[in-house]
Amino acid sequence: MLILAIESSCDETAAAVALINDDTQDIEIKASIIASQIDIHALYGGVVPEIASRAHAEALSKITYEALEKSNITLKDVDAIAVSYAPGLIGALLTGVNFAKGLAFANKKPLIPVNHIKGHIAASYINNQIKPPFLALAASGGHTSIINVKNYTDYETIGRTRDDAVGECFDKIARVMGIPYPGGAVMDKLASEGNSKAIKFPSAAVTGDNLDYSFSGLKTAAINYLHNAEQKGEMINREDVAASLTKTIVDSVITKLDHAIEETGYTTLVVAGGVAANSHLREGLKKFAERKKLTLAIPALKYCGDNAAMIAVQGYYEYKIGNIAETNLNAVARP
C-alpha cells in the first residue's frame, strides 16, 4: 500500500510517502519531507500559534508535491491519504486536515485520520522488528504519557504528566539560560560536558501509587537556582546545570517506567517523541532495558521529532481496521 501522509500539529510542516507490504508489513519510507518553522518561532522564544498556522498553509502544497516527486509517483498512484488530526495546536492541525481533505476528495482517495501520539509510537515500527502489545512512553514538547499499546490501534494511557511536558521542561529552563527555542538538543550537548551530581533537583516522578509525572516543580526549582545565582552575582556552570537536570529527568522517567513494566508485565518498551532523541535518556533506557531484560525500541533520530513518515505508518494500521474519515473530519486540540 502506498500512503501519502500530512503532519501539521505544531511547528513542523511535514509530508511523507510510505510503501507498506501487506504480506510482510515491511515498511519503506520513500520520502519524508519536513519544513521546520523553528527559526521563525525562535524569534519569540516559543511557538506562536497564529504564525504556525500561516506557515503551514504556505508550506503544505509545496512539500506534498516534493514528497510525491521524490517518491517518483503522482497522486493517482497513492492508495490513501493519512493526516494527523489530533492532538496539537488547533489552527495548525486545521490547515493540514483541510488540505488533506481537499486532496483526498478531489482525487477520490480514502482519508485516514491519525492521532499524532499514536504516530510518534508508530515511528518505532520503521526500524525495529517489534509488534504490539507493549509499553510505550511518548515524550515530546507537548506530551509525556505512558501508554499500554494493546494492539496497533487500541491504546490506553496509564500515566501522564500532570502539568508540563518533559520537552517543555527542557525548553523553558534552556530559555532562562539564554538558549534559543527549542533548547532540548543544546541541553543534551551541554549535559555531556557537565557533572550530573553537582546540583540536587527534585524528582519529576509523582510520589505514591501512580504512573504520573510532574515537571513543573523541577522546572521552577531549576529556574529559581538560575535566578538566585544571578541575583547573588555568582557564575553558574551551565554544563553542570544541564547535566544535573538531565540526570534528574532521566531518573524520574525511568522510575515510573519501571513501575509500569511491573504493573503490565510487558517485556517490550517503546520510547518515542522528540525527547527520545536525548542521548542521555537513550543511554539510561538502554541500561534499564538490560537490567530488566526488556526489548527496547526507539525510533531512529530522524523519526523522533515531528514528521509525516510516522503518520503514514500509523495510517496504514488505521486503514486496516477501516478507520476512514467522513467529509466532516475535524481537528481536535486535546488528546
Query: What are the residues binding ligand KG4 (CB under 6 A)?
Result: 10, 140-142, 167, 170-171, 182, 184-185, 187-188, 273-275, 277-278, 305-306
**Residue 306 beta carbon to Zn ion: minimum distance, rounded to whole angstroms:** 4
Residue 268: which of Zn ion, ligand KG4, none does it interact with, CB under 5 to 8 A by kind? none
According to the binding rule CB under 5 A, does residue 306 interact with Zn ion?
A: yes
Residue 240: which of ligand KG4, Zn ion, none does it interact with, CB under 5 to 8 A by kind? none
Residue 279: phi and psi, rounded to 5, are -65, -35
Residue 315: which of ligand KG4, Zn ion, none does it interact with, CB under 5 to 8 A by kind? none
Q: Are 140 and 120 in contact (CB under 8 A)?
A: yes
The span from the CA of 16 to the CA of 34, in Å, is 9
138: closest CA among 317, 5, 270?
270
Q: Where are the beta strands (DSSP E) in the chain?
A: 2-7, 12-20, 27-36, 80-86, 111-115, 134-139, 144-149, 155-160, 268-272, 295-297
Residue 167: which of ligand KG4, Zn ion, none does it interact with, CB under 5 to 8 A by kind? ligand KG4
Residue 212: which of ligand KG4, Zn ion, none does it interact with, CB under 5 to 8 A by kind? none
- Per DSSP, 205 falls in state B
According to the binding rule CB under 5 A, does residue 196 interact with Zn ion?
A: no
What is the grid cell recorded at 83? 493526516
**Going by C-beta distance under 8 Å and a sequence separation of 6 or more, which residues neighbour residue 145?**
117, 137, 138, 157, 159, 160, 161, 335
According to the binding rule CB under 5 A, does residue 171 interact with Zn ion?
A: no
Site for Zn ion in 139-158 (CB under 5 A): 140
Choose the binding region for Zn ion from 132-140, 179-187, 262-270, 278-286 (rule: CB under 5 A). Answer: 132-140
According to the binding rule CB under 5 A, does residue 64 interact with Zn ion?
A: no
Interface with Zn ion by CB under 5 A: which residues? 140, 306
